[in-house]
């Protein structure tokens, strides 16, 4: 576990936990997945890389995640996107490489859109691991059972067991409705930066065809897709971490 202690900042009345390692530019910004936190294997590997290379590194927990305040069930893509942009703007300077895992890949793509709209040309590159943009409409809704649809209508949420945590995943009606407002697939995604996607072909949660669909929305001359035949959704084995670090190093070289 990281030796750094979490610090906190207020965003819309919620205490958001973050860890920031000062360093040279371009820095790296970590964006975790649904129900994950900033002390996971991949984030820790990036922190070790940053300490070794002297690059800046920022990570935070979304509200309802990890050490941050707030309740998970009140979270939406828009809410977590707003917190991520706030952390980015408050604690980074200069060009940054966004690294997003699973849902964090969706957040990274939306951040690139919002920063570009605001005239902030600060994204030097994007690295995505098992990216899950539009997962609410693309990956979950088509597989909803009648009982889950009924729970969404009557209770406003449903639960499913998690393979990664003793606590079940909670999916809310607000998450689905907000997800539709943040869709990125089905249209050109102009990130104005190179993108490198790492995708396991043995991923039970995000099929590699989803990564291929994403590639089809990105400018082909700026995209690298690395398919890992035996890679799962976590991509946390040592060989996966090595590929992640190589991808970030590649972005550093391109930015230089």
Task: Give catalytic residues, as residue numbers.
Answer: 102, 203, 233
Task: Name the region of 87 (left: φ>0; alpha: ψ -120 to 50; beta: rest).
Answer: alpha
Closest CA to 55 of 28, 83, 82, 90: 28
Reported as a single tens digit per residue, the pLDDT across 16-60 is: 999 999 999 999 999 999 999 999 999 999 999 999 999 999 999
Rounded distance between C-alpha atoms, residue 96 and residue 151, angstroms: 41
What integer is the mean pLDDT of 110-132?
Answer: 97
- Comparing 74 with 4, which gets the higher pLDDT? 74
pLDDT beyond 60 at 143: yes
Q: Note the pLDDT of residue 71.
A: 94
Q: Note the pLDDT of residue 169.
A: 86
Q: Note the pLDDT of residue 162.
A: 80
Closest CA to 240 of 188, 201, 183: 201
Token pair for 200: 């396991």
Q: Note the pLDDT of residue 2.
A: 59
Token pair for 76: 């939406």
- Bond prior to 35 in cis (omega within 30° of 0): no
Reported as a single tens digit per residue, the pLDDT across 197-255 is: 999 999 999 999 999 999 999 987 799 999 999 999 999 999 999 999 999 999 999 99
Q: How many CA atoms lie within 13 A of 92 on its CB side?
A: 29
Q: Which residues pair with 99 in a beta bridge?
A: 30, 127
Extended strands (E) in the chain: 7-11, 14-21, 24-31, 55-60, 96-101, 123-129, 157-160, 169-172, 195-200, 223-228
Q: 57 and 23 in contact (C-beta within 8 Å)?
A: yes
Token pair for 60: 């935070």
Q: 74 and 25 in contact (C-beta within 8 Å)?
A: no
Q: Note the pLDDT of residue 256.
A: 83
Q: Name the residue with tokens 């539709």.
A: 180
Contacts of residue 135, Cβ cutoff 8 Å, sequence gap at least 6: 34, 102, 103, 106, 179, 206
Reported as a single tens digit per residue, the pLDDT across 154-178 is: 999 999 988 777 778 899 999 999 9
Map out the domains of the chain with their CATH numbers. 7-134+185-255 (3.40.50.1820)
Global pTM? Answer: 0.96
Q: Name the residue with tokens 């605001």.
A: 118
Q: Note the pLDDT of residue 219.
A: 83
Task: For residue 159, report the phi and psi dihedrals to the nearest 5 degrees.
Answer: -120, 150
| DSSP 8-state symbol, 72 | G
Longest CA span, the chain: 54
Confidence of residue 1 (pLDDT cuts 50, 70, 90): low
């Amino acid at each position: 576990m990281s030796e750094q202690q979490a610090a906190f900042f207020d965003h819309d009345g919620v205490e958001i936990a973050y860890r920031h390692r000062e360093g040279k530019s371009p820095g790296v910004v970590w964006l975790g997945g649904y129900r994950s936190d900033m002390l996971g294997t991949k984030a820790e590997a990036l922190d070790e890389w940053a300490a070794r290379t002297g690059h800046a590194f920022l990570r935070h927990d979304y509200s309802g995640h990890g050490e941050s305040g707030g309740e998970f069930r009140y979270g939406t893509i828009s809410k977590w996107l707003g917190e991520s942009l706030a952390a980015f703007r408050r604690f980074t300077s200069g060009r940054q490489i966004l690294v997003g895992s699973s849902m964090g890949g969706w957040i990274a793509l939306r951040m690139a859109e919002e920063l570009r709209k605001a005239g902030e040309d600060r994204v030097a590159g994007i690295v995505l691991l098992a990216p899950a943009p539009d997962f609410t409409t693309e990956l979950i809704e088509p597989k909803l059972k009648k009982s889950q649809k009924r729970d969404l209508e009557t209770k406003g949420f449903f639960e499913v067991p998690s393979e990664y945590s003793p606590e079940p995943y909670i999916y809310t009606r607000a998450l689905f409705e907000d997800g539709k407002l943040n869709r990125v697939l089905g249209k050109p995604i102009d990130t104005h930066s190179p993108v490198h996607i790492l995708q396991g072909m043995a991923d039970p949660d995000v099929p590699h065809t989803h990564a291929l669909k994403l590639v089809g929305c990105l400018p082909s001359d700026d995209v690298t897709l690395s398919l890992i035949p035996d890679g799962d959704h976590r991509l946390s084995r040592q060989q996966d971490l090595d590929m992640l670090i190589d991808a970030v190093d590649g972005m550093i070289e391109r930015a230089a």
